[in-house]
Chain A
Amino acid sequence: MATIAYEPRRPNIASANVQLPAVPDYEHVDDAIIATLKPTKAWFAMLMTAIAALGLGVAAFLYQVHQGLGVAGYNPPVMWGVYIITFVFWVGIGHAGTLISAILFLFRAGFRTTIYRCAEAMTVFAVMTAGLFPIIHLGRPWKFFWLIPYPNWRLLWPQFKSPLVWDVFAILTYLTISSTFLYVGLIPDIATLRDRETNPVRKRILALLSFGWRNTEREWRHFARAYLFLAAVSTPLVLSVHSVVSFDFAMALTPGWHTTIFPPYFVAGAIFSGIGMVFTIIIPIRKYFKLQHFVTINHLDAAAKLCLATSMIVGCAYLIEFFIAWYGGVQVEQDFFWNRVFGQWWWAAWIMITCNMILPLTLFSQKLRRNPAWLFILSIFINIGMWFERFVIVVPSLSHEFEPWMWTTYAPTWVDYSILIGSFGWFFMWFLLFVRQLPVIALTEVKEIVPPRLKHAHAHTPANAEDFEPEMPGDR
């Protein structure tokens, strides 16, 4: 006869079996989370705003396609601008999801459970957004498919030595895999929704979407295995994708780009920005949907620690760049870095350093780590800072290269800004649609960490006030 024992203890958020003491049973999980799927006025308002922003972006893009890229702020030799910056920005954001769902899964970091669904969805939409920008920035966007190797009667193939072709492979793979990952995880939840759904039409649709999933132990066994391997293979993918993106720069001999530190530096930056965006999204959600007892302070605390760690890696990378520029003794490189920080572009560089290096240091204080309000504010700064990090990488390098005669400046125009805003509209449109159709917190995985109902409840003490963490340590 099996003996099943549960010892009550402070949840160790680093371990897989984190507990949600405030969640009594499975039914509560269903009820609480499915309750978030009811559309509200506020939601419609936000959705409309997002669509309006998207419309602005689309209009600007069409105008640009008709007129030519000259309407954007390009100032040769600054041939890349806001579009590439924003591309890297969104790709970076797209890294938190898979990181949290895959890497933290392998590390059995329990705090991922309640936030990973949100993060994964964010990833997919972020990559969907990022993927648009390489096309938007093309001189002849209608010819973007020439970068994809497809058999054609002209017998032409892409140039496989070009980092841009590497990008195509990396980004498309990443998009496919992260959306697959997201969907596989969703299948049992969709099955649950199906069973809770009363409206026959929706029920039918959900039944189709759930592939007729029925929670048998056999399904679960293969599911767990597949999920494990997807995680195992997504982990190097996450690391590779942003490395490849960094090659766009590192493979060029442009000063400020031509450096071997870029792959790790970009990956760390990506995770950093991703977690920033997770905060920006999850904190309002848990507040708005009253899910504090699912996404607990402990979880945020742990995520904040990860954020702090990556921030310090990034900061370290900044410093190493400067050191190597000085130590390498290449005068062009030295001029460039001086110009980046104390010259023409000092303001951008200092926005970057303040937002990405200095402000995150506040996370050393547990009080702030466990303060969702501060985490939210900080996450906004991180988003801004990371956008400017890419700005600082792209623009100053190109504007201050080998040829002094061709040193220029750069100023975006309303077209650049409109398309940038449009990208946020596009991203949040998808995300808002998502939160109203599918559970933002993984039902079945949460159930895993909720204690099951037991006949002999001898060892198990149900949730009680002590175990419910308050918003701030100390207060009730």
Chain B
Amino acid sequence: MRGVVGHFRELDSAVEAIEELKQSKLGDLTVFTPTPRHEFEHALHPPKSPVRKYMLFGGLAGCVFGYWIAVWASNYWPLVVGGKAFSSWIPYTIFGFEVFVLVGALSTVAGLFIHAGVPRLTMMVGYDPRFSRGDYGIWVECSPDRLAAAEALLRKHGAVEVRGDR
């Protein structure tokens, strides 16, 4: 399936283009922006990101492990030190916490990678280095018969350049 990608110099024109594209339902949109802008979120209404769940479950797992390794190891070979209980759970909270943070944070990053679809080795079609510099891009993926309409729409909203791609 093919589509067109429009370059926008200005933020507001890109946003307007998106809003109209969404109404006209020409096809799927992918927006490129050098820096995250809330305007796009308002325009696209995407679902909430699920990465926070990774943090939750990864963290809990880590916490459990942190506690467990300390308690198990102290009871595995019981030796009295300083007349303290073999497994003194209070200080072991430190292990619970530290491993909670460790695993939680790492799994968050894992979640980011999974959902953002990185790492990837090839640039996807429609990407242009300028999108990381200052320009906004909108990649409309649609059936060939709608390409013209999409292109027209993009240009109408002031896309400085529109090119087809596949």
From B35, B117, B123, B129, residue with most partner A Cβ within 10 Å: B35
Report the minimum CB–CB distance from B121 to chain A (whole Å). 6
Contact call A454/B12, Cβ cutoff below 8 A = yes
- The chain A residue with its CB closest to the CB of B87 is A160
From B34, B52, B116, B131, residue with most partner A Cβ within 10 Å: B34
A232-240, A278-286, A315-323, A398-406 - the one binding chain B:
A232-240
Q: Mark B83-125, 1 if CB is under 8 A from A, else 0.
A: 0100010011011011101101110110111011111111110
- The chain B residue with its CB closest to the CB of A444 is B35
Contact call A222/B16, Cβ cutoff below 8 A = no
Contact call B73/A160, Cβ cutoff below 8 A = yes
Contact call B33/A217, Cβ cutoff below 8 A = yes
Bound-state CA distance A192–B124 (Å) is 16
Residue B25 CB within 8 A of the other chain: no
CB neighbours of B109 from chain A (8 A)? 180, 184, 226, 230
Contact call A215/B33, Cβ cutoff below 8 A = yes
With A215-B131, A220-B36, A455-B158 known to touch, is A2 a contact of B91 (CB < 8 Å)? no
Which residues in window 22-56 of B have CB below 8 A to A?
30-37, 39-44, 46, 48-49, 51-52, 55
CB neighbours of B57 from chain A (8 A)? none
- The chain B residue with its CB closest to the CB of A176 is B102
Contact call B108/A447, Cβ cutoff below 8 A = no
Contact call A223/B98, Cβ cutoff below 8 A = no
Q: Using a Cβ–Cβ cut-off of 8 Å, how many residues does chain B contribute to the interface with A? A: 75
Give the interface size bracket for A toward B: 35 or more
Contact call B102/A26, Cβ cutoff below 8 A = no
Contact call B95/A222, Cβ cutoff below 8 A = no
Contact call A234/B129, Cβ cutoff below 8 A = no
Contact call A233/B19, Cβ cutoff below 8 A = no
Residue B166 CB within 8 A of the other chain: no
Q: Mark A424-453, 1 if CB is under 8 A from B, else 0.
A: 000000000000000000001101100011
What secondary structure prevails in chain A residues at the interface with B? helix
With A216-B32, A218-B116 known to touch, is A161 a contact of B84 (CB < 8 Å)? yes
Bound-state CA distance A181–B41 (Å) is 24
Q: Mark A175-210, 1 if CB is under 8 A from B, else 0.
A: 011001100100110011011100000000000000
Residue A1 CB within 8 A of the other chain: yes
CB neighbours of B41 from chain A (8 A)? 217, 221
Report the minimum CB–CB distance from B116 to chain A (whole Å). 4
Residue A4 CB within 8 A of the other chain: yes
Residue A374 CB within 8 A of the other chain: no
CB neighbours of A466 from chain B (8 A)? none
Contact call A452/B10, Cβ cutoff below 8 A = yes
Give which listed residue, B43, B84, B117, B121, contacts A2 with CB less than 8 A.
Answer: B43
Bound-state CA distance A160–B92 (Å) is 7
A165-173, A265-273, A305-313 - the one binding chain B:
A165-173
Residue B81 CB within 8 A of the other chain: yes
Residue B132 CB within 8 A of the other chain: yes
- The chain A residue with its CB closest to the CB of B29 is A217
Report the minimum CB–CB distance from A239 to chain B (whole Å). 10
Residue B155 CB within 8 A of the other chain: no
- The chain B residue with its CB closest to the CB of A448 is B35
Contact call B98/A173, Cβ cutoff below 8 A = yes
* CB-defined A-B contacts under 8 Å, sample of 25: A4-B39, A157-B73, A157-B74, A161-B74, A169-B98, A170-B98, A173-B99, A180-B109, A212-B119, A212-B122, A214-B32, A214-B123, A214-B127, A215-B33, A215-B132, A216-B31, A220-B33, A222-B51, A225-B51, A226-B108, A232-B55, A240-B101, A444-B35, A452-B37, A455-B10
The 7 closest A-B CB pairs, nearest first, are A195-B129, A211-B119, A26-B134, A212-B120, A225-B49, A447-B35, A226-B112
